[in-house]
């Protein structure tokens, strides 16, 4: 059994980790911490877990995290960077669901996250945990930077094209729509039901923190810098990301075949038949990314624009599910263990 700890378990990625870990046959949940909720029974805060989680939130200092095999950070940004060093030195492996170790260029990170990074040397060591790209490196990693939700949907959607170099890499467009849970369990006005429901808007068009993360990943895949316009939107649903991706064809290939081949061995990426329109519902509550590739022929410009549709559940493949997938890889157990939930429909 893998002894697992969770730091910061009161947010949505935290409760989703709990949902997945209590059903995982090889995991023993050893501790879950929260400074503000220390002493509160987990199932008092989340009655959905009554009878499933007997732990109380504990103070990080006394939680015994150093005795865990793996610790998940489900914390706000700029927390894990202060606590990772001590755990890694004690031999604890870390999966960080926040952004602290995602951006290799520390100056870039500091610019977007408006903080001084306290642990740049671990940034250099950390493995970016997009399993479909870095599986081998994840296996041996001491610290995994679990990807962001938008970056997961957008990168998985663009990767086959970018790796093959068959589209205009200077003008990629990602028009992404996220359910409200992607903004976290934070009491802010614009996330209120009465504000976010029956409403739709773009946000952060001038610049969003996931932009440098996506661009970094695509640039690695391309072997050169890429140009990317990324426009996130808030859509009135709880879970789900739908990324609509646009790329100009630079070289003709069998695009459907390209995607099928790229993801043929992947347990959690599903390339749909031609003509499909995946809905976010079809991956809800499951660790899946479904992708469809379109080339709308009706266009005076000769049909040279590809449209790729990529959907995930932001809390599963976009966060906690992918974290468990990374854990499975790190500990050499079957990659899909504990991740066989069937999507919830309706």
Binding positions for a copy of itself, 302-321, rule CB under 8 A: 302, 305, 307, 309, 311, 315
Q: How far is the CB of 162 from a copy of itself (least distance, A)?
A: 13
* Residue of 119, 149, 166, 289 with catalytic role: 149
148-167 binders of a copy of itself (CB under 8 A) = none
60-79 binders of a copy of itself (CB under 8 A) = none
**119 is known as an active-site residue:** no
Among 36, 251, 252, 275, binds a copy of itself (CB under 8 A): 275
How large is the greatest C-alpha to C-alpha distance in the chain, in angstroms? 66
Identify which of residues 110 and 195 has a Cβ nearer to a copy of itself in the complex: 195
Rounded to an integer, what distance in angstroms lies between the CA atom of residue 24 and that of residue 120? 33
Work out the angle at residue 262's Cα, subtended by the Cα atoms of residues 258 and 267, and round it to the nearest 5 degrees: 135
| Residues 150 and 176 sit within 8 Å (Cβ to Cβ) | yes
Identify which of residues 94 and 271 has a Cβ nearer to a copy of itself in the complex: 271
207 makes contact with a copy of itself (CB under 8 A):
yes
Among 120, 246, 258, 266, binds a copy of itself (CB under 8 A): 246
Rounded to an integer, what distance in angstroms lies between the CA atom of residue 286 and that of residue 20? 10
Closest by alpha carbon to 20, among 269, 343, 268, 323? 323
Identify which of residues 126 and 245 has a Cβ nearer to a copy of itself in the complex: 245
Q: Which stretch binds a copy of itself (CB under 8 A): 74-82, 256-264, 290-298, 317-325?
A: 290-298
| Residue 266 neighbours by CB under 8 Å, 6+ apart | 132
Query: What DSSP designation does 41 have?
Result: B
Among 180, 291, 312, 319, binds a copy of itself (CB under 8 A): 180
Q: How far is the CB of 21 from a copy of itself (least distance, A)?
A: 10
124 makes contact with a copy of itself (CB under 8 A):
no
β-sheet bridge partners, residue 175: 231, 244
First to last CA, the chain: 34
Helices 131-140 and 149-164 meet at what angle, rounded to 10? 110
3-32 binders of a copy of itself (CB under 8 A) = 12, 15, 18-19, 22-23
- Rounded to 5 degrees, φ, ψ at 38 are -55, 130
Q: How far is the CB of 157 from a copy of itself (least distance, A)?
A: 12
Q: Which stretch binds a copy of itself (CB under 8 A): 67-75, 155-163, 186-194, 318-326?
A: 186-194
- Rounded to 5 degrees, φ, ψ at 188 are -125, 150
Rounded to an integer, what distance in angstroms lies between the CA atom of residue 46 and that of residue 49? 6
| Residues 241 and 182 sit within 8 Å (Cβ to Cβ) | yes
Peptide bond into 33 cis (omega under 30): no
Query: What DSSP designation does 38 have?
Result: T
Identify which of residues 119 and 314 has a Cβ nearer to a copy of itself in the complex: 314
Q: Which stretch binds a copy of itself (CB under 8 A): 74-82, 94-102, 142-150, 226-234?
A: 226-234
192 makes contact with a copy of itself (CB under 8 A):
yes
Q: How far is the CB of 189 from a copy of itself (least distance, A)?
A: 5
Which amino acids are annotated catalytic? 149
């Amino acid at each position: 059994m893998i002894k697992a700890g969770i730091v910061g378990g009161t947010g949505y990625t935290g409760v989703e980790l709990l949902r997945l870990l209590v059903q995982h046959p090889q995991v023993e949940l050893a501790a879950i911490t929260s400074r503000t909720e220390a002493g509160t029974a987990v199932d008092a805060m989340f009655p959905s877990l009554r009878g499933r989680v007997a732990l109380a939130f504990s103070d990080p200092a006394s939680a015994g995290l150093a005795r865990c095999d793996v610790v998940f950070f489900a914390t706000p940004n700029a927390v894990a960077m202060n606590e990772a060093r001590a755990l890694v030195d004690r031999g604890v492996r870390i999966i960080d669901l926040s952004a602290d170790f995602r951006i290799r260029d520390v100056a870039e990170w500091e610019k977007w996250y408006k903080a001084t990074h306290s642990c740049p040397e671990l940034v250099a060591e950390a493995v970016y945990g997009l399993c479909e790209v870095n599986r081998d490196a994840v296996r041996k990693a001491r610290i995994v930077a679990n990807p962001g939700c938008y970056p997961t949907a957008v990168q998985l959607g663009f990767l086959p094209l970018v790796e093959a170099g068959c589209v205009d890499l200077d003008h990629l467009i990602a028009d992404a729509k996220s359910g409200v849970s992607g903004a976290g369990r934070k009491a802010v006005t614009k996330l209120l039901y009465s504000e976010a429901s029956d409403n739709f808007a773009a946000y952060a068009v001038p610049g969003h923190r996931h932009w440098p993360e996506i661009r970094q990943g695509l640039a690695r895949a391309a072997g050169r810098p890429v140009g990317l316009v990324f426009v996130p939107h808030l859509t009135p649903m709880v879970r789900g990301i739908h990324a609509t991706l646009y790329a100009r064809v630079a070289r003709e290939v069998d695009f459907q075949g390209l995607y099928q081949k790229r993801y043929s061995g992947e347990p959690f990426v599903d390339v749909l038949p031609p003509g499909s329109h995946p809905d976010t519902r079809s991956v809800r509550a499951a660790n899946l990314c479904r992708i469809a590739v379109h080339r709308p022929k009706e266009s005076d410009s000769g049909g040279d624009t590809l449209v790729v549709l990529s959907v995930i559940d932001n809390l599963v493949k976009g966060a906690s599910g992918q974290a468990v997938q990374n854990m499975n890889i790190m500990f050499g157990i079957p990659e899909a263990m504990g991740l066989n939930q069937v999507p919830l429909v309706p």
